[in-house]
Structure 1
């Protein structure tokens, strides 16, 4: 509230009080005339009523003027001068300078000091003294010592009230100034608090004791996907968070641990959108240490979770690779001996029956397959020399798609949709990236063997310095357990799979400093998103 508005409010209060005083005087006059007629002469009543009517009209007009436009300082001063004259006329017509009507002078002086300032209060005391002295001079009721005494005491009272009202007025103005400063400081603190909350990268939500949302910053609104949150139940926006917070808090308190701050992870899985948030909950206390609500901070930990999973996967792959490389090397030598011996036996014993010949062919075939598997694995664990060619990735994608059209082992009814809009070349090994593309597209085909209609969507986009490739299908999808082991060597869900395809893909992308993320929902499909930003 502004200072000008506060002064106007006080002025309206003063005018209302003046109207009340006029109404009380009118009521007293009418009462006296009806029931105590000896105190109010009939000839004096009419002039008094005229004076009161003038006062009513003046102040009603003044109030209307103040309501529709800002009153000037002169008009306010004139209002108090008019009241002093009105009081003088009223006392004169009543004809008793010693009546209680003299108190009206004091009220007028006090209102002047309260509403205006110290100087105005003293001026009003002086003007009231002049008016009252005039009444004493023309009044036949007071004379001699009584006149002097009335003059001295009443004028002393006028200036004493002026001094008191000036003091009260100054004190009230000081209090008003402090209140205004405090109000401004509170406004600044409120704005600062709002800016801090809105600037937080983490989501901030405050909830009352009934579980209704009070405050939610912009980051939290993006998390819950809702702008209109006031009065909504917190449980509706983030199901399970409030319940988990209370359960963990009770468990900590039961174990005599501090439960002032409770932290836990909250996972959101809506279709392809998987998010992990670190939730920090804490109670909010008001006066007398009474709990008035709970606040929650939500920080997106999805990227950190992916990095942790990648780090664990790298450590596991490194350990498995070192162990298996040694074993594979030791297996290859006796395998070669076995294959050579079987081949020699087959050629040197032509008299073997047909079943024996078939058995030898099976052994040779499986030996070759096992040897190919070992070769693939040795390629997987072997350090590749870095190749840095300039590659048109979108042209390479089209070549791979065209190449797989003639693969008899793949389902022919699969529709492949290309949306290649990046228009950027990257640096890397064309042969290795071709291997990545073929592996991922073939995997998408395999996921669509029992799905109709079957679609594969391959898209590229370049936005704000980021180059992304997406390969998506509407196939069988994966559960969380399968996703966790997706890039581990020898992990496969196929009957004749080696489990090295995606492990090799991951290693090639890692060598190229390209990031890969997987979004998959069981029975809905899978999407591989590769970030080639560092290769542009």
Structure 2
């Protein structure tokens, strides 16, 4: 059909009115088909001219991104019409730097008020060998991201079998002690009743009952530890800049460290890479480790307390290191610091670093600790950088 239109247009001056009408109808039908195809594509599609003004937009693009002032599409560049600030800034940056064949992943709230993960790709629109504009392609990868999160949680459940076995073993000892002391108490009561009919004195009974109560507390602690270990976290995963979260947190605790005479040095990677994390929980990781570092420095009673915070990208991972020159830990302590209720502090709960470990694992990351007694400690957190979904050819 396209060949027919092209050949007919070459002889347009020789066409009769009837042939011209037929040609126009053919062109109209082709445009309807092309428009139907564009509107039916499940991915978002925005076509802009060389001034970055919208010439074509489909329904999916409007659904994924909230556009406003669409009556200005002929005069305003596309980034001025997009409500999402991050997407708008990305497209504006690509326009200014003339970047094409590039993409970026975003977490957004779509027009239907649902949280989604999308990949926005910037592609050149080539016509007759020349750049005639730009194609903005929007792909929804929400299902894939949610599946990855679900699979990660399913993998985490594999360790529950061993954990349950350990808990069952731990419960046996308190139950055995309770059983023995209740039997001893029952025998004493029975013996007294068979004799003079009087119960043993209170001190005698309290001796057994206090042991029973202690063991019941131990049982309760074991059960609470188990529930804490297996209870899933409430996680709201979005694409966020970890360094931005760290900078805000540093401003919060810096006066406290200055008052304690602790020198804080910060060296963040600066590329503003975004990670698939929960901002609130990532802040909890950072604050918890930093507070532990402060306690270690103060307990060492060193006059030159130092805390070093560094971040960088390596092997597709965001790496955060928090180092202090505090009291440090021996190898035995290092091997247990992430266990529930294990603490070296007199007033500690033993849950802080366990929570940190759980959160890091929820982010599909890893956390390690290196420490030397009386020298200091280094915590290293590694979180994978989301890989871009669209593979693009070089321009």
User: For this structure pair, what is the TM-score category when the shorter chain's length is used for normalisation?
Assistant: 0.3 to 0.5
TM-score scaled to structure 2, two decimals? Answer: 0.41
> Which structure ranks higher in relative contact order (CA pairs < 8 Å, sequence separation ≥ 6)?
2
Higher helix fraction (1 or 2): 1
TM-score scaled to structure 1, two decimals? Answer: 0.32
Q: Which has the greater radius of gyration?
A: 1
